[in-house]
Structure 1
Amino acid sequence: MSLKVITFDVYNTLINYGKELIEEITSNITKYLKSIGIEASFEHVYEAYVGLDREIRLRRVTEMVYVPPMDNVRAFLERLMHRYGVELNERMVMDVANIISNTLLESKNAKPGEDAQYVLMEMKDDGYRVGVVSNVIFWSSSVTRRLLDKYGLSKYIDVQVYADEVGKAKPHPAIFERAYSLLTHDMEPDIAIHVGDGFKEDLLGSVLDDIIGVFIDREGKFVISGSPAEFIKCRAYGVRRLKEVLLIPHLVSSCSI
């Protein structure tokens, strides 16, 4: 019996969110700050949040840097409080971290992709062991685990591995290696696939760790026509929709990995 494993990124792969969720988080933080006497503007809060998020993502790729979620929340607030000349305290850090996490868990702007449950179920039925490999920025892995439970996706997932548990973030090989070690019990898999919407974090990260990479290119930046597209023969693919991931095993079945 062959050993087949597949892992998925979480956000904007299995669970989708966009600008609306960030605006909701920003609004809730702005309301909180006003409740404690800090007249921060929505625009300044949004700018600080999005700006730091962008910097963190860049540093993960260029420097392989991992920073714990609470430290990122603190850095976000330090920038914001500096603008308003307010001294930051740890109570504010804890409060804002809880606001971010609770907004995510309660928001209608974060929801599973329409194909997410179907794809996970089909991969399980096809004999794959299924895992999650996901980074964290402003909320911990415990929040993501609760979200996957909330939407009924965790029952199809055998292993969940997150950056704050490993101390390394994608594209660092350590986080992929942890997931595949747990999924295979340190045996060599016959086929190993990772799926995500990050070209560098997911696709390049997996390929560099000798895992077949599948990039979800919803905007069509690289997959212009003919999905799935083969970027590197038998090693790297692009799809426009999550559902098309189900075609990848058939494409690689005749490959010598």
Structure 2
Amino acid sequence: MNSRSQQLKAIDRLLTIMDELREKCPWDKKQTLQSLRHLTIEETYELGDAILDNDLNEVKKELGDLLLHIIFYAKIGSETDDFDIADVAHEISEKLIHRHPHIYGDVDVKDEEEVKRNWEKLKLKEGKTSVLEGVPRSLPAMVKANRIQDKVAGVGFDWEHPEQVWEKVQEELSELNEEVKNDHQNNIEAEFGDVLFSMINYARFINVNPENALERTNKKFIKRFQFLEEAAKKEGKELSDMTLAEMDVYWNASKKIHK
């Protein structure tokens, strides 16, 4: 591993390159905070993919892409004298010190849950009017639901036992089933949302990240379906011309390979 001085030298090199690109490269010169935003989101998802695949070399590369974006934003901020990379680093350092009084102060905590509760209380003291204020509006719905539940639990608004949450899941499923029978589309959507919300809550109680779990299933399904496509192609068949029973033969074979 690199020493601290080598790490700082590497960051300094990146800062210098960013200065040069911003001055000389036509594309880099044109970029703004707004134009980079969607690219940053894309890079974040690519990092998430690499983490799910446990591809550490790819994680390293994607972290580099994200770091470049942070340096880029800071460079743009420095050009208008609003902030630079030092301000960014100092801001997060001060926040971490303030939010960890059990490390940098005289507060005692028993466990991780107490740390989270203290974190939310400190944020309210900093001027936030709601514990949900920090949940980004543009988060995907599943991630947002998970963050909402995590945050309200941080101030004690939570179930006590997993069994209670599972009972709530069963209750919501029953209500959904009733609305499906009644064929009230608007109510069906509302109840379906309640089922998802309760399942996401249950995931938290059994220590499962619902986003990661669903994406693992997505990846597994893609691999199985692509195996089915390839197997059919090798026999000169088109999926659109096959019966479901014929496709099931290949599908069951794919399940043995991609578990």
User: If the length of structure 2 is used for normalisation, what is the TM-score?
Assistant: 0.25
**Greater fraction of residues in strand:** 1
Task: Tell me which of the two structures has the higher relative contact order, counting C-alpha pairs closer than 8 angstroms and 6 or more residues apart.
Answer: 1
Give the structure with the higher percent helix: 2
Bigger Cα Rg:
2
TM-score (normalised: structure 1): 0.25
